[in-house]
Amino acid sequence: MNLERLTKLMGTYLLLSFVACIFVIPIIFMIISSLKPDYQLLLDTSSMRAFLPVGDISLDNYFSAFRRAPIGLFVFNSTFITATTLVFTLFLASIAAFSFVFIEWRGKATVLAIIIATYILPFETVAVPLLLLVNELPWLSTEGVTWGWLNSYQVQIIPFLVRALEIFLFVQYFKDLPKDLIEAARVDGASWFQVYRRVVMPLSGPVIATVAILKSLEMFNGQYLWPIMTVQSEEYRPVMVGLQYFFQTGTTHWGEIMAFLTIITLPVLVFYLVLQRAFIASIASSGVKG
């Protein structure tokens, strides 16, 4: 390896290391701060000690956080809502994209354009009309038919099942799949659903991982406004709404807040690390080609 190539490689790794530090340093600060009492946490923020496990280190903030709020219930609610939404999103978005790419029907280009155009609408513009709608919808429960979805799991799941972004990602990926495989399966007598289940989806691991990561981040750590509007019962509250429990007293307990954020952030990081290779592969393969 010549000197010029070695220098270029070192420069690339230094740049990547710098970018990685930008994302890793706040996580390190959060974890370390969750182990310190408030007085030491605030005192150490003026020096590098904020990133070092020095001083009065303990798990007291975690125990106090669990006593202050039902964190286990909040984590269960968010996990259940995220997992349920993700399963339905992967199926509905992929099968919709399959129909747009592989099945010929009149007006599909117009319908796809309208769906993609909805992506520019911020959720805040439809939040109030959607709230009025879900407050009047029926639901079949163990108590019979009830009216209104407030204080329930379905009000946090059904409005977010499919977004334009997820359909678009699947469409872009499906366009790059070999058409010969689809034609061969059809010639062999496979139905469209068999082609979808046995040919297309087994080849779609990267885009499935991409949608799974984006949807999980949105549902687990990104839902705050809608649950605040629709869920008043503690029984159904997700983790981000549970964060307000730590600001209800006169004193802000920063150590407990950092402990709570660590509890809800680490599972998402682990989920991302498991799927990161497939995510990067999908980003590389889903780009617009000239």
Q: Is 161 exposed, middle or buried (0-12, 13-18, 19+ CB in 10 A)?
A: middle
Q: Which residues fall within 8 angstroms of residue 102, CB to CB, at 6 or more apart?
A: 174, 182, 192, 195, 200
Q: Vertex 138, ends 150 and 132: CA angle to 5°?
A: 50
Q: Which residues pair with 144 in a beta bridge?
A: 141
Taking residue 262's Cβ as centre, other Cβ atoms within 10 Å add up to 19
165 Cβ contact list (under 8 Å, min separation 6): 119, 214
pTM of this structure: 0.82
260 contacts 70 by C-beta, under 8 angstroms = no
Instruction: Identify the CA nearest to 286 among candidates 177, 199, 129, 128.
Output: 177
Residue type, 95: I
Given this model, what pLDDT does residue 23 score? 82
- Which pLDDT value is given to residue 286? 47
Q: Which architecture, in CATH terms, is 72-240+259-285? A: Orthogonal Bundle (1.10)
- Can you tell me the distance from the alpha carbon of 63 to that of 38, in angstroms, rounded to the nearest whole number? 14
Would you kindly state where each structural domain of the chain is located, as residue ranges? Answer: 1-68, 72-240+259-285
Q: Which residues pair with 140 in a beta bridge?
A: 145
Q: What whole-number distance in Å separates Cα of residue 17 and Cα of residue 3?
A: 21
Measuring CA to CA, which residue among 107, 111, 148 is closest to residue 131?
148
How far is residue 152's CA from residue 187's CA, in Å, rounded to a whole number? Answer: 47
pLDDT of 289 reads 43
pLDDT at 287: 46
Q: What is the pLDDT along the chain (290 residues), one digit of tens a residue?
A: 577 788 888 888 888 888 888 888 888 999 999 999 988 988 888 888 888 888 888 899 999 888 888 888 998 999 999 999 999 999 999 999 999 999 888 999 999 999 999 888 888 888 889 998 988 888 877 777 788 888 889 999 999 988 899 999 999 999 988 888 888 988 888 899 999 999 999 888 888 988 988 898 888 877 888 998 898 888 899 988 888 888 776 677 888 889 988 888 877 777 777 766 655 655 555 443 43
